[in-house]
Chains A and B, each alone.
Chain A
Amino acid sequence: DIQVTQSPSPLSASVGDRVTITCRTSQSISNFLAWYQQKPGKVPKLLVSAAFTLQSGVPSRFSASGTGTEFTLTISSLQPEDFATYYCLQTHSLLTFGGGTKVEI
């Protein structure tokens, strides 16, 4: 089984901050990683597929990178609507979610 370790959690930040969330996998998964944003009471929203491909409509302040075993999601200037929980998901071998990163004030 592939383990996915997400950090930090939680992440305390302010509006305007640059924040970075990291996911590490227990074995190489190439680019088989996606990122999701979930707000309280809402369905997870796909932000990034294939490690770095931003989905249509996702603001350009979001970016993602990485390959192999280490991946990052960066928000260049945190906005009030970005306070949420973020999850990574590996799909290389079965599916495994990271534990989540709650971005809070």
Chain B
Amino acid sequence: QVQLQESGPGLVRPSQTLSLACTVSGASISRGDYYWTWIRQPAGKGLEWIGRIYTSGSTNYNPSLKSRVTISLDTSKNQFSLKLNSVTAADTAIYYCARGHQYSYGYVDYWGQGTLVHVSS
């Protein structure tokens, strides 16, 4: 059974960098069939895609966040990570990591439980 678990600080100061990691179990992030992605959801609002990384290391980002986002892989830990810099209160949200299918129409299947990140001084 594939499981994903987010980890990282629950509170980030404005203008600082939000850093989260996602640990994957039950699947290898090195397997080329998948991509690994981050999605967020502000309280009471809809889902917003942040970006993804393929096993090759290639990345795609949401154009609205692209200038502030970096996603990376750590195959030795079977983890991938998110960095979002220059955060503001608008970045307060539940952050989910998830797995997507590189083929088979690209859908996202397994999700982490989500971690709430609050941006506040």
- Which residues of A line the B interface, CB within 8 A? 1, 31-34, 36, 38, 43-44, 46, 49-51, 87, 89, 91-92, 94-100
Contacts and interface: CB of A to CB of B under 8 A. Distances in A.
Contacts of B111: 43-44
18 contacts: A32-B106, A33-B105, A34-B105, A34-B107, A43-B112, A44-B47, A49-B107, A50-B107, A51-B105, A89-B108, A94-B60, A94-B62, A95-B52, A95-B106, A95-B108, A97-B39, A97-B46, A98-B46
A94 B109 contact: no
Nearest to A32: B105
B106 A92 contact: yes
Chain B contact patch, size range? 20 to 34
Interface string B33-62: 000010100000011110010000000101
B104 A96 contact: no
A91 B99 CA distance: 13
Contact of A87 (B46, B60, B101, B109): B46
B96 interface: yes
A34 B62 contact: no
Given A97-B46, A100-B47, A43 B96 contact: yes
